[in-house]
Structure formats: C-alpha cells, structure tokens
Structure 1
Amino acid sequence: MGSVKKDNRLTASQSFLCVGFAGFFSRTVTSPLEVVKIKSQVGTFHCKRGFFHTFLLVYQNEGLRGFWKGNLASCLRLFPYNAVHLTTYRKMVHLHMDDLGFISQWRAILAGGLAGIAAALATYPLEVVETRLIAQNRRQPTYMGVVHTLSKIYRDEGLLALYRGFSLTVLGAFPFSIGCCAVYMNLDKIWQEPPFRFTPLQNFISGCLAAGVSQTLSYPFETVKRKMQAQSAHLPHCGSVDVHFNGMMDCFIQVVRNKGVLSLWNGLTANMIKIVPCFGLLYTCFEMYKQVCLYRNGYIISPLSYKLAPGVDQSLRPYELQEAKRYLKNRNFGSGESSLGNRW
C-alpha cells in the first residue's frame, strides 16, 4: 500500500506555482532535445541521418533559436494542464482512498492516468500548436506565434484539427500506466528495501526509470500522434511529414510499410537523454521554490535550507500558523509568563 501525501505547509496556490515554475524551467532548458525528438517523430528532412546530425541540421538551417521553437506553447500548457490534472487526480484518489487515507499503488497510477487524459483534453490545442511550430522552418514560417497558429489552424482547417490525434493520447495512456505499474510495483525488489526507506536519490532514479519504461512502451502512439498533428494540406509539403495517410490506422500502416516498425520509435534517443536532466531540474526547481514558500510561511529559518524554525508547530496549516502568530503577538505576555510566547 502507498499513501498519497502532500505538504500541508504550502497553500494550494503555492503548490500550484511550485509545479508550474519547475515545469517551466525544466522544459525550457531541455527544449533542444524536445525539438529533435518531435522533428524525428514527424519525419522532417532534418532527421534522416540520426540524432547528432539532426542537431547539426537544425542549427545550420534555423540557427540557435530554432531549438526553442514551440517552447512558449509548451510552457503555456503547464498551468492549465497542472490545474486540471491536480483537481481530477484529487477527486479520483478520494474515490479510491480507504478510511485511513491510503490508496494502493496501482489505483494511484490509474487515477494519475485518468487525470492526465482529462488535462490533455483541456490543453491539447496547444500541443498541436507546439508540433506545428517545431515542424516548420523558422526562417520560412507559415505560423508566427502561438495565437496566430491557433487562429490559422481554426480558420483553415476547423476546430477538429486542433484535436487531431487526441485518441492516441487516450490509447497511449494504457501502456504508459502499465510501464509505471511495472516499475513501481517492483521497486522493493530493485532496491532490496521497502519504499518508505528510499533516499531522495533512490526516488529520483525510480522516477527516471519509470518514465523511461513507460514512455518507451507508449512511444509509437506518440509518434503517430505527432504525425497527425503536423500533417495538413494547407502547409508546404503537407507539414513535412515523411508519410502520407488518411486517419490513425492508415498512419500506422504507412509508417510500418514505408519506414519499418522501428521507425515508430524515431527520436527515442533524444527522449531518453532528456529524461534525466528534465526530472533533475524539475525536482530541484520544485524543491527550491518550495523552500522559498516555506520560509515565507514561517516554517523554516532560511530559504536556502530545510532547517525548521524553532518552536513552530509544523502540523499547522499556513493560515493556522499565521493566526497563531497574530494571537500570540497581540497578547501582552510578561517576560516569564509564557515559554511558548518567547519561542514565537
């Protein structure tokens, strides 16, 4: 059994901003790898000769800024995605939680998968925008930014074009969840000790391993989804997609027939390389921003460490702690009347 825990010393808005800040920073730093991955999935001319050659061609043809195409759309997705994901996840967890507040690992993963699908539905148009911006040549652009891309796709291709390939997000959620389950259900065997004794490094490695396995299993669905997002009769060379198709199943068939089965994993190298720095930056930035929030709330003595403030009840929620401080401040304690007052 695993328990779903959150730090009650943070307000809901602070928790939300911690996740958003961490995601924004980690995605921005690893954007070059994301660009290479998506170009490889779409099948643009850049990716004909492998991972390093793709980097070189992007730089030669589009310059350094070419590695950050679509990053704004990717970052803009974070806040609504996290909001919907967090709300849906909490509701799903509460449905499956027992009287003691515990939930089994596989149910927690299932809740996460369903929450992810709901969040993806709310933010999917921005993912389509990201793919279109990355697939095009920055020096010969069809789209001139996030708003222009959204409006042009809607005007030229209709509303459904902004959700093209969404069914693959749903289908890909199943192998993704299976991969997570396979790793998390065997962590005690991998580390030879129960999960509650894991160090931060062990948790980090476990997260990277789970992401690697789950993303590898669901990767063919994402590859086909990216091709469907990029393909359009209104774009030069149909969006630079390397195969032409009509619908999801035809895309799978055409890719396997013309490029081979392994082409469904094009860009996997860039994706695997991205996992460690992305998770590392995500975890580090989250903890840094969390420390700032905890210091602001009065739980720790410095935003640079987790050393607890002396005399502070760590079980109090932020608003309860502030009320207690105001109450003690307003009372006229004598020099020796209350040791509690002196500690505050």
Structure 2
Amino acid sequence: MASVKKDNRLTSSQSFLCVGFSGVFSKTVTSPLEVVKIKSQVGTFHCKKGFWQSFLIIYQNEGLRGFWKGNLASCLRLFPYTAVHLTTYKNIVLLQMDELGFISQWRALFAGGLAGVAAALATYPLEVAETRLIVQNCRQPTYISVAHTLSKIYRNEGLLALYRGFSLTVVGAFPFSVGCYAVYTNLDKLWQEPAFRFTPLQNFINGCLAAGVAQTLSYPFETVKRKMQAQSARLPHVGGADVHFTGMMDCFVQVVRNKGILSLWNGLTANTIKIVPYFGLLFTCFEMCKQVCLYRNGYIISPLSYKLMPGVDQSLGPSELEEVKRYLKNRNFGSEGSSFGNRW
C-alpha cells in the first residue's frame, strides 16, 4: 500500500505555483536536449549524423536560439496542464481511497495515467505548436510565435490538425503506467529496505528510474505522434518528417518498412540524458520554492533553513495557523489592555 501525501502547510495556489515555476525552470534549462530529441523523432536532416553532431548542425544552421525554439509553448502548457492534472488526479484518488485514506500503488498510477490524459487533452494544441516551432528553421520561419502558430494551423488545416496524433497519447499512457508500476513495485528489492525508509536521494533515483523505464516503453508512440504533429502538406519539406504517411497505422508501417523498427526510438539518447538534470532541477527548484512559501506561512525560521519555527504546530494548515496567530495576538492585546486599566 502507498499513501498519497501532500504538504498541508502549503495552500493550493502555493503548491500550484511551486510546481509550475519549477517545471518552467527545468524545461528551459534542458530545452536543447528536448529540441534534439524532437528533431530526431520527426527525422529532420539535423539528426542524421548522430546525437553529438546534432547540436553542432543545429547551431550552424540556426544559431544558439535554435535550441530554445518551442520552449515558450512548452512552458505555457505547464500551467493549465498542471492545474487539470492535479485536479483530476485528486478527484480520482479521493474516489479510490479506503476509509483510512490509503490507495494502492497500482491505483495511484492508474489515476495518474487518467489525469495525464485529461491534462493532455486540454493542452494538446500547445504541444502541436511546440513541435511545429522546433521542426522549422528559425532563420526562415513559417511560424512567428505561439499564437501565430495556433491560428495559422487552425486557419489552414482545421481544428483537427491541432489534435493530430492525440490518440497516441492515450495509447502510450498504458505502457508508461506499466513501466512506472514495474519499477515502483520492485524498489524495495533494489534497495533491500521498505519504501518508508527511502532517503530523498533514493526517492530521486527512483523517480529517474521510473521515468526512464516508462518513457522507453511508451517512446514509439511518442515518436509517431511527433511525426504526425509535424507533417503538413502546407509546410516546406512536408514538415520535415523522414517518411510520408496517411494516418497513424500507416505511419508505424512506413517507419518500420523504410527506417527499421529501431528508428521508433530515435532521440532516446537525448531523452534519457535529459531525465537526470530535468528531475534534479525540478525537485531542487520545487524545494526552494516550497521553503520560501513555508517561511512566508510561518512554519520555518528562514527560507534557507529547514529549522522549524519554535512553538508552531506543523500539523496545522495555513489558514488554521493564521487563526491561531490572530487569536493569540488578540488575547495578548486584551491582557495588556486589562493590566493597563488596572494600573488606572
């Protein structure tokens, strides 16, 4: 069994902002790896000579800014994605919790998968925009900005083009969840100790392992999805995809027939390398934001220290703690007023 825990010392808005800001920061720093990964998945000429040469070719053809194409769309997508994901996940988990507030690891992962699909549905057009912006040459752009990309795709290709390949997100969620489940159910064997004794470093390694296994299993679906997002008869070189196809199944067939089955994992090197810095920055930035919020709420003595504020009940929520402070302040003020009156 696994309990779904959250820090009740943060308000909902603070949790949301911590997650959003840490996600934006980690995505921005690791954007070059994301650009190389997506170009490899689509099959543009930049990535024909291997992983390391891809960086040089992108720099020579598009300059330094070429490594941050589509990053704004990716960052904008984080906030609504996080909001929908957290809300959906919370509601599903509440429905599946037992009377003691616990939920099995499998059910928690299943809830996470469903929440991910719901969040992807709400933000999928931004993912399509990100792919189009990354695949194009920023020195000869077809699209100028995120808003221009969305409006141009809608005008020229219709609403369905903004959701092209979405079914692969749904299908890919299942191997992703299975990969996470396979890792998390065997962690106690890996560390030879129960999960409640894991250190923060162990939990970080666990997250990287789970992400690595899960993304590897679901990677072929994402590769085909990126090709479908990029392909358009209205774009130069039909969007840059290395195969031509008429639909999802035809894309799988054409990739395997023309490029080999292993090409479904093109860009996996960049994706795997990205996992450690991405999650490391994500967790570090989240903890820093959380420390600032805890200090502001009055639970710790400094945003740079984990030392708890003396005399503060850490089990109280922010609103409850504020009420206690207000009560104590009024009581002290009342007692001071009484002593003042007695002196007269």
TM-score by length of 1: 0.97
- Residue equivalent to 2:112: 112
1:131-146 superposed matches below 5 A: 131-146=131-146
| CA RMSD of superposed structures (Å) | 1.0
1:22-41 alignment, distance < 5 Å? 22-41=22-41
SS of equivalent residue, structure 1 residue 284: helix
Where does residue 85 of structure 1 map in the other structure? 85
In structure 1, C-alpha distance between the alignment counterparts of 2:174 and 2:318, rounded to whole Å = 38
CA distance in 1, matches of 2:74, 2:306: 31
CA-CA distance at 1:329 after TM superposition: 0.7
Aligned counterpart, 1:318 = 318
Q: What does 1:232-247 align with in structure 2 at a 5 Å threshold?
A: 232-247=232-247
Aligned partners of 2:35, 2:280: CA distance in 1, in Å? 19
* 1:285 paired residue number: 285
State the partner residue of 1:328.
Answer: 328
Q: Aligned partner of 1:55: which letter?
A: F
| % identical aligned pairs | 84
- 1:8 maps to what in 2? 8
Partner Cα distance (2:96, 2:147) in 1: 40
- The offset of 1:305, in angstroms, is 1.5
Q: C-alpha separation between the residues in 2 aligned to 1:67 and 1:305?
A: 36
Match of 2:342 in 1: none
Instruction: Describe the superposition over 1:62-119 as per-residue Cα deviations: whole angstroms up to 9, x where unpaired.
Output: 0000000000000000000000000000111011100000000000000000000000
Partner Cα separation in structure 2 for residue 14 and residue 332 of structure 1: 30
Separation (CA, whole Å) in 1 of partners of 2:321 and 2:296: 12
Structure 1 stretches of 5 or more lacking a match? 336-344
Task: Measure how far apart 1:332 and its partner are.
Answer: 2.9
The equivalent residue for 1:96 is: 96
State the TM-score, normalized to the length of structure 2: 0.97
User: What corresponds to 1:159 in structure 2?
Assistant: 159
Structure 1 residue 25, shift from structure 2 partner: 0.2
Q: Name the structure 1 match of 2:307.
A: 307
Q: Distance in 1 between matches of 2:174 and 2:100?
A: 29
Deviation at residue 221 of structure 1 after TM alignment: 0.2
1:58 is matched with which residue? 58
Residues of 1 paired with 2:270 and 2:19: CA distance?
Answer: 24
Deviation at 1:323, TM superposition (A): 1.1
The letter for the 1-side match of 2:94 is H
> Any idea what SS the aligned residue of 2:312 has?
coil
Q: Distance in 2 between matches of 1:162 and 1:278?
A: 27
Name the count of aligned residue pairs: 336
Task: State yes or no: 1:74 paired with 2:74.
Answer: yes
1:221 maps to 221
Unpaired stretches in structure 2, ≥5 consecutive residues: 337-344
Give CA-to-partner distance per residue, 1:310-335, whole Å, 9 cap, x none. 00011111011111111111113769
Matched, 1:254 2:273: no
Q: Which amino acid aligns with 1:148?
A: H
Find the aligned partners of 1:182 and 1:49 in 2 and give their Cα distance: 34
Structure 1 segments (4+ residues) deviating >6 Å:
none
- 2:174 is the counterpart of 1:174: yes
